[in-house]
Amino acid sequence: MHLYFIRHGESVYNAKDTVQPPEAELSKLGIKQAQALAERASRLPIEAILSSPFVRTRQTAEIIKEATGKEVIYTELLQERRSPSDIVGLKRKDPRIISIRRELRIHASNPAWHYSDEENFSELRDRAAQFLEFVSSRNEERILAVTHGDLLRMVLMVMMLGNEVAPDIFYRFNDFFKTRNTGITLCIRHSEKGWQLLTWNDHAHLG
């Protein structure tokens, strides 16, 4: 199986470096990025498009759909990690966000702990595993998945380590491996070797 991961185009919240709600829309630049990506995707032998239902991913997926003629299947398994509601709309460098995210990291090894209404580390890891089970059950051999940065990185970690993904390793990976909007990450699954990362964050279509 070939699994192409796409991070959505730039949103208006990305442009302001602000924590996003699900309804955040693509910026004008984000639409152009998605169009450039779609032109490239039209040359890929994809058989199906999966997408997060968030507005920014939905808009990106629909632009790809127009270029490829493939229908989009929406799944909550691909949506972004849910942040605490009280930080949505704040600048990422806001001292309140820094303090709350420090607390999230401190308690990440406790699957029962929540700051408020966020998706904690264990829940995100479990969802990533569920997505891999879901995609592995499909008949298509070449799938394009439109998603978000944190979820993408967790899926890759679960591909590599399974349930052994620990908070300290994930956060180090998450801090180091960054993605551009509409970057393409390609993973392949072998019957014997399992999942392998072939391409990371390819954004040549952006020039």
pLDDT given at position 137: 95
pLDDT given at position 47: 97
What percentage of the chain has pLDDT greater than the value 90? 98
- Cα-based torsion angle of the residue sequence 76, 77, 80, 83 in order, rounded to the nearest 10 degrees: 80
* CATH number of the domain to which 194 belongs: 3.40.50.1240
Residues of the chain with pLDDT under 50: none
- DSSP for residue 139: S
pLDDT given at position 191: 83
pLDDT given at position 55: 98
Query: In Å, how far are 85, 128, 131 from 167, measured between CA atoms?
Result: 22, 14, 19
- For the chain, the domain total comes to 1
pLDDT given at position 129: 98
Q: Are 37 and 205 in contact (CB under 8 A)?
A: yes
pLDDT given at position 5: 98
pLDDT in tens, 115-161: 999 999 999 999 999 999 999 999 999 999 999 999 999 999 999 99
Domain that holds residue 104: 2-206
What's the pTM value of the predicted model, to 2 decimals?
A: 0.95
34: its two tokens? 């998605």
Query: In Å, how far are 16, 46, 51, 165 from 192, measured between CA atoms?
Result: 44, 23, 28, 21
pLDDT given at position 192: 82
